[in-house]
Amino acid sequence: MDLLYDGKAEEFIDNLKGLKFRKKKRAATLKEMRYDEYRNKGYQIDSGVIESSCKHVVGAGMR
pTM of the model: 0.40
Residue 7 has pLDDT above 60, yes or no: yes
Total tally of structural domains belonging to the chain:
1
> What pLDDT, on a 0 to 100 scale, did the predictor assign at position 26?
63
Sign of the dihedral through C-alpha 1, 32, 35, 57: negative
Sign of the dihedral through C-alpha 47, 50, 51, 52: positive
Q: pLDDT band for 41, please (50, 70, 90 cuts).
A: very high
User: Domain of 34?
Assistant: 2-61
